[in-house]
Chains A and B, each alone.
Chain A
Amino acid sequence: MNTRTGKAARTGQYAALLCYLLFLALPFLWLVSTAFKPARELGSLHPSWIPENPTLDNFRQAFEEQPLLGAAGNSLTAALCAALITVVIATPMAYVTARHRGRLSRAATGWVVVSQAFPFVLIIIPLFLVLKKLHLINSLAGLILVYVVWSLPFALWMLTGYVRAVPPELEEAAAVDGAGKARTLVSVTAPLLAPGIVATALFAFITAWNEFFFALVLLKTPEKQTLPVVLTHFLGAEGVADLGPLAAAAFLATLPSLVVFALIQRRITGGLAAGAVKD
């Protein structure tokens, strides 16, 4: 391939990538645009991307009408705790599943993955009864417990893949050098697993941050409700919506996820490089 053709191909690739990124960004851009539009522009037949008379009224109204800050705090607590607990539990489980492969281990992995397919409504009533026995209804602790249980199967599946990617020879070499099992896990395996752990934590965080139905059912009092539940308070029967404040609140609700992702993505790529094995 000559230089000219290579340049054209690269330009084409970048153009395709740009189009794809734009496509992905469209809903978010529309959300931002709507959040800053006054009510009369929302009803326009020819809506513009950039608000003609941008306003902060939707944000003011959203904050006045609903306890957004408290709800954001609840969501953050639930999502961070769920992410932390999920990786603490899933990491050793994934190690065992990946390193001690047998019929039982395969069956267990299969079962946890299949359990992901259960619809929420199927499990919510038994789950509710269990949590009630534990006095965990209307508590963030109960919700966190549910999120951990809900995220664990997929987290386990994800992490098992990462553990398998770590060559057992490294652990054998550490053992030859005199390191015990725990030392090997902490000093050799864990650093190589770091990107996987971070990615899994991110998955658990975003799952919990966005989750609506469990939070709706389990949390009763307004001061305990999470952001997705509070967002539905801008919706009426038959899908009627208070669009401006809803967009403003939804825009604010997406920010923490974006920030967490932005902070963590460097760690993921850094970890990937650290996990590279050279012959």
Chain B
Amino acid sequence: MRRSRLGAAVTATVAALALLLAGCSGGPDGGRGPDGTIRLRFQSLAWQKESVDANKALVEEWNATHPDVQVDYVQGSWDNVHDQLLTSFEGGEAPDIIHDASDDLADFAYGGYLADLRPLLPGRLTEDIPERSWSTTTFDGGVYGVPFLQEPRVLIAATGILRESGVRIPTPQRPWSWEEFRQVTRELTGEGRYGVAWPLKDPVSVTLNLGLSAGGRLFHRDADGKAVIRFEKGDRVMPATVHDQVGTDRSAARTALGMSGSDTLPGFFGGRYAMVPLGFSYRQQVAEQAPEGFEWSVLPAPAGSDGLAQGVSPQTLSVAEESPHKKEAVRFIDFLLRPENMVRLAKGDWMLPTGTKALADPALHTAENGWATGTALAAALRPAPAQTVRGYPEWKDKVATPALQEYYSGAIGIGELEERLVEDGNRVLARYQR
């Protein structure tokens, strides 16, 4: 009797668990709905309210006008996006349309997870986006994403402090040289105030991207196509300027070196830093958090022998190789990136569109919030130097980040920095290029 009661209890528990599992379970995803409608999943990484709203509104507009191809908006997250996508690809569950950044695409493109878009892209889109932007998503001759938003690094400055100091205000037409910039930060430094705060918690991309202005490339291709690191004259300019501002002139705040961009804003608003070099989209936070009456302006980053050139890794839209409806997915991308729509997306994210027609929109040329300065820099933007180099993530984490952090803090000199970046770095790259 006891045994049968225990058995019944176990059976009931197992049945309850099975029911629970079945009840919570969702059905398998399919490329078509029950009525034959094509269903596409679009995973967006938009996160700011205006940007999410713009994306959702565009999806709704598409769905209203394309009853045969319906798009489901899926909210993704920048946090762990690479691992999340990798798992989805491996498991055969990837979204049809994928939002990511160009510097994250190389592994997916070489791994065969993304569709080569060359035969699918409409001429309108191909022609509208400049070749230099396409090169950020071109791997081994194939195009694996449509670059659509990009973000230069700019100097956000406290207008009042600059005005009082009497320094020349730079423009995209007449920017500061790196040397002049160093001189200016010395002049702006005073009692309880630094001329600049470099937020260099992640120093590698800033160093490489701004280094382009002085002709720095660091990564070179040998005749056999293999990537090799060389530390040349142009590669020294940007890091040496920061190093000297921190260590010699004391015009850059040492404490800011370990900060992220957001961390520097309270000091900037409080008058502790006259300028902060930040990504263009940080203007949104500045506009939202600046104290009442605080005047700020957007200035171009310093220029070198190559003018205002700097590296960027645009945001991209790709199509999964396993998607059964690649043609329709590209049609949706084409719709999403029509010039007027690209402008909506750019304004929502406080970034620059890659498309030339969108870039010409008057809404992006206003002086308000520094839009005009940003659009004036667009022509100078280049692909980030290392994004197509295999082994770059390991070089960045294991070699370049600690070496640059030590150099900027003054723990090592330029000689040791060069030795570590080049010798240790080439050893890392060699493993990926055997």
A contacts, CB < 8 Å to B:
39-40, 42-47, 61, 64-65, 77, 81, 85, 88, 121, 124-125, 128-129, 132, 135-142, 144-145, 180, 182-183, 212-213, 216-217, 220-222, 224-225, 229, 232-243
Contact = CB atoms under 8 A, between A and B. Distances in A.
B20 A81 contact: yes
Interface string B12-24: 0100010011111
B47 A141 contact: no
B65 interface: no
B42 to A, nearest CB: 12
A128 B29 contact: no
B260 A217 contact: no
B60 to A, nearest CB: 15
A40 B47 contact: no
A220 B90 contact: no
A137 B74 contact: no
B266 A137 contact: no
B290 interface: yes
Contact of B26 (A182, A217, A224, A240): A224
Contacts of B17: 85
B6 interface: yes
B87 A40 contact: no
Contacts of B41: 220
A217 B74 CA distance: 13
B1 to A, nearest CB: 10
A135 B265 CA distance: 47
Given A135-B28, A240-B281, A42 B289 contact: yes
B292 A125 contact: no
Given A40-B292, A217-B88, A241-B262, A236 B78 contact: yes
B267 interface: yes
A124 B88 CA distance: 10
A278 B8 CA distance: 36
Nearest to B27: A135
Interface of B: 2-3, 6, 13, 17, 20-29, 41, 45, 47-49, 52, 72-75, 77-80, 83-84, 86-88, 90-93, 95, 101, 202, 260-262, 265-267, 269-272, 279, 281-282, 285, 288-292
B288 A39 contact: yes
B87 A128 contact: yes
Contacts of A144: 20-21, 24
A47 B291 CA distance: 13
B260 A235 contact: no
A240 B6 CA distance: 56
B266 A43 contact: yes
A145 B91 contact: no
B77 A182 contact: no
22 contacts: A40-B291, A43-B290, A45-B271, A61-B49, A64-B49, A65-B52, A85-B17, A124-B87, A128-B87, A128-B88, A135-B26, A136-B25, A180-B2, A216-B80, A217-B88, A220-B93, A221-B26, A233-B77, A236-B281, A237-B101, A238-B260, A238-B279
A129 B84 contact: no
B282 A240 contact: yes
Nearest to B285: A240
Contacts of B3: 182
Given A136-B25, A239-B260, 5 more contacts: A43-B285, A44-B291, A124-B87, A128-B88, A129-B90
Given A88-B13, A125-B87, A238-B202, A45 B48 contact: no
B288 A141 contact: no
B26 A138 contact: yes
Contacts of B80: 212-213, 216
B269 A45 contact: yes
A198 B92 CA distance: 39
Contacts of B292: 40
Contact of B83 (A77, A217, A232): A217
B83 A233 contact: no
B288 A46 contact: no
Contacts of A47: 266
Contacts of A43: 265-266, 269, 285, 289-291
B322 to A, nearest CB: 13
Nearest to B263: A239
A61 B49 CA distance: 9
A216 B269 contact: no
